[in-house]
């Protein structure tokens, strides 16, 4: 029983790594199709998202099987729960890549309105975040998870800068406004990939420590409210 349990956990980890690799591949391929104005690559990458959806279902079934058969406790339970949550984020990365492919197909037929300088840099950061967040979860590496979370601010700064640049381009050259808007959506998609990587990093911390980092500010706010209510009750 124990050997079978360990084997099933190992298979779960293997499937999760495979899905993470698929998510990293699709977002990189989608961005390459956009920057290289490669319509055929964009079409092929668009279809790849279906494989990620299938992999999500496979992992979900593995998680449910482990929970039903073995009733894991403590760290093992948190690990399986973290995987269940993380595959949702990886699936959404696939959806975002598909959206980028749609834009890549449309923009492949028109000349670029600006050199792609910051987009490759932003892509590199979110790709590293995805890779490191998955590794942090598999290893229970809290420090690596925190590094991923810190990088989200860098991604946000890229988004804000590129957003301002593209708005300025559309204002100076209204004929390019439609293209600028599509590129803004691409940049927003990359920013969202960073958010999903951050979510996985937060699940890594939960797995290792049991601490729920997600929505921490909201939790702190609720705690302060309860403290004020308690003070009010004691004064009454």
- Asked if residue 224 belongs to a domain, the reply is no
Per-residue pLDDT of the chain in tens (236 residues, 90 and over written 9): 789 999 999 999 999 999 999 999 999 999 999 999 999 999 999 999 999 999 999 999 999 999 999 999 999 999 999 999 999 999 999 999 999 999 999 999 999 888 888 999 999 999 999 999 999 999 999 999 999 999 999 999 999 999 999 999 999 999 999 999 999 999 999 999 999 999 999 999 999 999 888 766 566 667 777 777 777 665 55
- Asked if residue 67 belongs to a domain, the reply is yes
Distance CA 157, CA 155 (A): 5
Handedness of CA 95, 98, 104, 109 (dihedral sign): negative
- Asked if residue 156 belongs to a domain, the reply is yes
Give the chain's domain count.
1
- Asked if residue 182 belongs to a domain, the reply is yes
- Asked if residue 230 belongs to a domain, the reply is no
- Asked if residue 24 belongs to a domain, the reply is yes
Which CATH number characterizes residue 134's domain? 1.20.58.220
Domain range enclosing 10: 2-217
Angle 76-80-85 from CA coordinates, rounded to 5°: 145
- Asked if residue 135 belongs to a domain, the reply is yes
Model confidence, pTM:
0.89
């Amino acid at each position: 029983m124990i050997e079978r349990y360990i084997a099933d956990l190992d298979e779960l980890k293997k499937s999760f790594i495979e899905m993470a690799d698929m998510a990293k591949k699709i977002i990189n391929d989608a961005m390459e199709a956009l920057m290289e104005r490669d319509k055929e690559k964009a079409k092929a990458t668009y279809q790849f998202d279906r494989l990620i959806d299938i992999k999500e279902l496979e992992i979900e079934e593995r998680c449910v099987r482990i929970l039903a058969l073995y009733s894991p406790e403590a760290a093992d339970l948190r690990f399986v729960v973290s995987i269940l949550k993380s595959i949702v984020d990886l699936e959404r990365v696939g959806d975002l890549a598909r959206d980028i492919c749609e834009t890549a197909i449309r923009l492949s037929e028109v000349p670029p309105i600006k050199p792609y300088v910051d987009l490759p840099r932003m892509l590199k950061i979110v790709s590293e975040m995805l890779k490191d967040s998955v590794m942090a979860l598999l290893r229970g590496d809290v420090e690596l998870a925190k590094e991923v979370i810190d990088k989200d601010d860098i991604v946000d700064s890229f988004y804000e800068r590129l957003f301002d640049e593209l708005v300025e381009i559309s204002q100076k050259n209204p004929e390019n406004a439609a293209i600028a808007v599509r590129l803004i959506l691409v940049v927003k998609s990359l920013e969202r990939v960073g958010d999903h990587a951050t979510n996985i990093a937060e699940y890594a911390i939960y797995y290792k420590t049991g601490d729920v980092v997600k929505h921490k500010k909201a939790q702190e706010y609720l705690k302060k409210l309860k403290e004020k209510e308690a003070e009010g009750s004691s004064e009454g």
